[in-house]
Homo-oligomer: A and B are copies of this chain.
Amino acid sequence: MASIKDVARDAGVSSQTVSNYFNNPSIVTVKTKAKVEKSVQKLGYIPNASARRLRNQRSYTLAVGIAPSGYSQIFDPLLHALVSEADNHGLRIMLYKTDSKTDEIRQFKSLVSGGDVDCFILTDTVYDDPRITWLTSHNQAFVLFGRPWGQETDRDSSTAWVDVNGRLGIADVTRHLIVTGHRRIGFLGWPDPSGTGSDRRSGWEDAMLTAKLASKDELKSLQIESEDNIRAGQLACQKLLRKHPDLDAIVCVSDTLATGAHTFLRQDCHIDITGFDNNSSAQSLGFISLEQPSSEIAHELVRIAIEKISEIEHGTVHADLQSQHVLLTPRIVHG
């Protein structure tokens, strides 16, 4: 509740000196600094956020959308990492609801006009996403978590994103299976169209082709699609095994499907299963999985957000475009 004036009075200086102490420390005498420091400590002074925001015309907050479905793209650990990373830079994370893409744009309008948000973090974007169009045309900072899937054009190069290289991750895990003696490796994927799903699947295809463990035609037969839930995973696994009883491993596009496969096969089976996300099921059932590097994702997301905010503030595009398209590698976690 103490204001800058209280500190100034207590320290026997003027309020602007206190302001300088925080915003431009280099121009304050060491002696004065000590006095201010003491008073700040004594009064527990913290600058008032609203006043600072009003004065600087910046909200110091990042907005993250949260979808109605239980399964939003923003997973729990990432949210925490984001809050933590933002905190390191004096930024806050605010949530807004995204019941639909049009509803989301209504939210943008309210948030932006109200000066509530400096930068948006979007998920689940597609090519020609109306949200991207809106934000761009309103000169509003934003970063995507997840590449915008679909036809790519030049115009995308100005759209910053951070994503996880599922293709590489799945290829890594497939290679791991190969070098540990597996030869007949199936794939349990999501139904098309799914950008993320196709990307991950191609990792398995890459590794299999390179290792000459299957022809392109055989790859088609060695994979099966399933909705992302345990029961569907169990059934798909059963179906795949009926077709290929000789499988010695199954790479799954998600931990949910891997859990389905694993629980269908039970312990006594010699078929190895891998998943993606390293959720609690992967840990407890002990199958190999790929962990999304939440901290790094958050780190990059916040870094780019700050860049974008600065770009918009100064009306420049000084940043290296490459550095705003970040592809992170998931880490293999052995059960």
The residue among A46, A229, A259 with the most chain B CB atoms within 10 A of its own CB is A46
A137 close to B (CB within 8 Å)? no
Q: Report the separation of the CA atoms of residues A114 and B68 in the bound assembly, to the nearest whole angstrom.
A: 31
Known: A44-B109, A48-B115, A230-B280. 6 other contacts (CB 8 A): A48-B54, A49-B59, A70-B280, A80-B97, A94-B95, A231-B285
Q: Report the separation of the CA atoms of residues A102 and B158 in the bound assembly, to the nearest whole angstrom.
A: 42
Inter-subunit contact B46/A66 (CB<8 Å): no
A77 close to B (CB within 8 Å)? yes
Chain B residues, CB < 8 A from A50 = 50, 53-54, 59, 115
Chain B residues, CB < 8 A from A46 = 109-110, 113-114
Inter-subunit contact B48/A66 (CB<8 Å): no
Interface size class of A (residues with CB under 8 A): 35 or more
Q: 1/0 contact trace for A62-105 toward B, CB 8 Å?
A: 00001110111000110110011001000011111101000000
* 8 Å CB interface, A187-236 against B: 229-232
Contact A286 to B66, CB < 8 A, known contacts A44-B113, A49-B114, A95-B93: no
* 8 Å CB interface, A109-147 against B: 109-110, 113-116
Inter-subunit contact A116/B49 (CB<8 Å): yes
A179 close to B (CB within 8 Å)? no
